[in-house]
Copies of this chain bind each other. A is one copy, B any other.
Amino acid sequence: VGREPAAGVLEGLDPAEARRILDAGRPRAVRKGATIFREGEPARAMHLVEAGRIRLGQVTAAGDEVVVRMAGPGELFAAVAALDGRSYPFTATAAEPTRLREWDLSVLAELLRACPRFQANVLGIVGIHAREMLDRFRELATEPAPQRIARALLRLLGPPGPSGERVAEGVTRRDLAAMAGTTLYTASRVMAAWQREDLVRPGRGRVVVPSAARLVELAEARA
Do B142 and A60 touch across chains, with their CB atoms under 8 A apart?
Answer: yes
Interface size class of A (residues with CB under 8 A): 20 to 34
Provide the residues of chain B in CB contact with A83, threshold 8 Å.
123, 126-127
From B128, B133, B142, contact of A133 by CB (8 A): B133
Max count, chain B CB within 10 A of own CB: residue among A86, A140, A181: A140
Do A142 and B66 touch across chains, with their CB atoms under 8 A apart?
Answer: yes
* A interface, over-half SS: helix
Do B58 and A138 touch across chains, with their CB atoms under 8 A apart?
Answer: yes
User: CA A84 – CA B86 in complex, angstroms?
Assistant: 21
What would 15 more interface pairs be, CB under 8 Å, given A68-B137, A81-B127, A86-B124? A62-B223, A66-B138, A66-B141, A80-B126, A80-B131, A83-B127, A84-B123, A84-B126, A89-B131, A130-B133, A133-B133, A133-B134, A137-B137, A140-B181, A142-B181
